[in-house]
Amino acid sequence: MTMLHDDLIYEILSVVSEIPEGRVASYGQIARLIGRDNNARLVGKVLSMAEYYGRYPCHRVVNSAGRLAPSFSSQRKLLEKEGVVFKKNGCVDMKIFQWNEGMT
């Protein structure tokens, strides 16, 4: 089990802060970017506490299928304001809106 400490929390939040407006990243994608491929759930846990560490665009993080966080009622509205379009099933179209870390 991975212990949460401030360095790890800020490492995750630093990646989240790089996601450009109108793009999304998956929990697993963020975990890979910090070298913790199997820690997507850890990323989710950190994002659930992000408000205690400052302002971060956590609404831009979805699961790998583009599904929104069930406990984040304003997430869809925030993404739509940035131009993100949803499929009929309510998920973000990851083929169109997923952030490619090499591009802004």
Question: What integer is the mean pLDDT of 45-59?
Answer: 95
Cα gap 34→11, rounded to integer Å: 7
Instruction: Check pLDDT > 90 for residue 71.
Output: no
3-29 tens-digit pLDDT: 778 899 999 999 999 999 999 999 999
Residue 85 lies in a domain: yes
Query: How does residue 89 score in pLDDT terms, banded at 50, 70 and 90?
Result: very high
Lookup result for tokens 């809106």:
97
Residue 103 lies in a domain: no
Residues 6+ apart with CB under 8 A from 38: 31
**Residue 69 exposed, middle or buried by CB count within 10 Å (0-12, 13-18, 19+):** middle
The CATH number for 81's domain is 1.10.10.10
Q: What percent of the chain has pLDDT over 70?
A: 94
Give pTM, 2 decimals: 0.92
Instruction: Say how many domains are in the chain.
Output: 1
> Residue 102: its pLDDT value, please?
66
Range of the domain at 71: 6-97
Question: What integer is the mean pLDDT of 35-52?
Answer: 94
